[in-house]
Amino acid sequence: MKELKQAGSSGGSKGNQKTNTGKSSGQISKDSKKTAADQLRIKPGEKMGEFSRRVDDYMRDNLIRTAKDNTSTGSKKKKHFEKLKAKEKAKKLKAQEEKAYEEYETIGDKVRLNDVAQAPPTLTAVPKKRKNDEFMTNKKWKNTPGEEDYDDLLADVDAKDKRRKLGKSGDDESTGPKRSRLKNLTPAGRRIIEEERKQAIENYRLMKARIVMKNQRHDAADDDADAAASDY
């Protein structure tokens, strides 16, 4: 009988524990509301200053608690969004890597490590025709002399001028090919040669005039010296 009573008492205590631990969240919220109402109610024999101080302390604690809860929930949401962004970024990077790998796989030539080229690459594309090539292949400019022939042409022009001054007409056999080059010269080339020829003639005249003036001054100085000597 004693054992049965003990078992019954233990069962009753266990049932009470289950009922106590099995309280729902609604009951807990009701209890908290009751405590809040009790805190916001003046007690018998309590002064107004004490009551207001107690209410301020209670409200301050509640505000601090709610602020902490809000910050914790905000930080949780922030962490959740950061995780989502990181996942999206990882997906994009993975897609880009897969795309680059596919493009690399589509390339026909695969270069392996330590490969040695046996021959230079061959160009199969035909180069486009340029305007300069058409200009140089034209019959009109095919036999045009370059800048290196201008000195010879200037010498030919000077020789021709000398022959003209001496009264010689025609060209000898040695000047035949050079004369043909003068005929094939472009108008711009002829103009350049003509300007250079004129400049050479002008320089020659200036040099000759300086020599004459120098000789005249020398003769005048000699005459003055002779006159001074005769006076003595």
> Does residue 95 lie within any of the structural domains?
no
Number of H helices, E strands in the chain: 8, 0
State mean pLDDT over 120-148: 57
Q: What is the pLDDT of residue 219?
A: 76
Return the half-sphere exposure (C-beta side, CA atoms, 13 A cut-off) of residue 197: 18
Query: Does the pTM of the predicted model rise above 0.75?
Result: no
Residue 151 makes CB contacts below 8 A (sequence gap 6+) with none
Q: Are residues 153 and 227 in the same domain?
A: yes
> Does residue 34 lie within any of the structural domains?
no
More confident residue, 78 or 175: 78
> Does residue 84 lie within any of the structural domains?
yes
Q: What is the pLDDT of residue 144?
A: 47
Q: What is the pLDDT of residue 105?
A: 64
pLDDT digit string, tens, across residues 11-47: 444 444 444 444 454 554 555 555 666 667 777 888 8
Task: Give the count of domains, the chain.
Answer: 2
Residue 179 makes CB contacts below 8 A (sequence gap 6+) with 156, 171
pLDDT digit string, tens, across residues 192-231: 888 888 899 888 888 888 888 888 777 777 776 766 666 6
Got the DSSP string for 5-42? HHHHHHHHHHHHHHHHHT--HHHHHHHHHHHHHHHTSP
> Does residue 65 lie within any of the structural domains?
yes
> Does residue 123 lie within any of the structural domains?
no
pLDDT digit string, tens, across residues 49-71: 888 888 888 888 878 878 777 77
Q: What is the pLDDT of residue 5?
A: 45
Q: Are residues 152 and 82 in the same domain?
A: no
Domain of residue 199 covers: 148-231
> Does residue 159 lie within any of the structural domains?
yes
> Does residue 222 lie within any of the structural domains?
yes
> Does residue 137 lie within any of the structural domains?
no
